[in-house]
Amino acid sequence: MGRNLARRLMAQGRDVVVVDRRPDATRAFTGAFIEADAQDAHVLSDVIGRIRPEVIYHLAANSDISAGVADASLDFGDTLMTTIALRIALDRTTVDRLVFASSSAIFGPIQGAIPESPSTPPSPVSWYGKAKLASEYVLESLQVSQPELSMLFVRFPNVVGPLATHGVVFDFIRKLQADPSHLAVLGDGHQTKPYVHVHDLIDGIQFFQRNLDSGVTRINIGPPDLVSVRTIAAEVCSALGVDPTITYENSPFGWPGDVPRYEFDTAAMRSAGFVIDSTSQQAVRRAAEDLIKEWATS
């Protein structure tokens, strides 16, 4: 997400500064880079104070949910402590707009489509989801000290596309490139969720941040449908031109903390005038073709 967003902003003529512990391994970003730990509030205070950005995009997180289950410190550090550090830094300096990458994982299992403000409290099952939910509360507290600050909390579904480093499409392609005769799938393959192409997601973020009111705006950005892991496997195999034996596990869960099925209520998104025309299946196929082409030329 961050790689694609930074590249989009630079293409639009924006001055972009990235703070991260390590440089972009894909070499997609050629702008100003500060090698630092975003968990350090002093570093963030210094950077924000010197640069005086118009917009801060808070994307730092551990997005490998299964790894976070095995080691909770990944989510408490990279997902939550980066938020706390930013919250402390923004007590010392100000910014006009803040965009926070939240997640569908904050809700956990829920009946029906997930609205921006569900009738029952969120109940995340993964440490990642818990850390993202806590991050929303931490950032929301800025309304007390900075009532004019405009904050956009974007709840993402599963995101696919170019410059990826993990995820189901990424994993399937890597497995099939190593052994095109066999594909082992985590879970029973009936996990069914919305998938959005990263370029469509960035379109949505930029649409909603144009006319933000002060305070917090929460929005679900997602496609009009869902897709199963079995269909994803078929699309990736088709994109690669292979016909492997596919094996599944006898479990509805891909890993501990997995939510096998969810869907977004995107009525607020659509009523605001933003629509994603691509289906989840189309997003997956496009992402597979993106990565295959990207790796073939790298």
pLDDT in tens, 168-207: 999 999 999 999 999 999 999 999 999 999 999 999 999 9
The whole-number pLDDT of residue 74 equals 83
**Contact 107/124 with Cβ under 8 angstroms?**
yes
User: What is the spatial distance between Cα 108 and Cα 125, in angstroms, rounded to a whole number?
Assistant: 5
93-120 CB burial, b ≥16 within 10 A, e <16 = bebebbbbbbbbbbbbebeeebbbebee
| pTM exceeds 0.75 for this model | yes
What top-level class would CATH report for the domain 2-296?
A: alpha beta
Higher-scoring residue by pLDDT: 20, 110: 20
The whole-number pLDDT of residue 22 equals 87
Strands annotated E in 66-188: 97-103, 150-156, 158-160, 182-184
17 membership: H or E segment, kind and range = strand 17-20
User: What is the spatial distance between Cα 19 and Cα 86, in angstroms, rounded to a whole number?
Assistant: 12
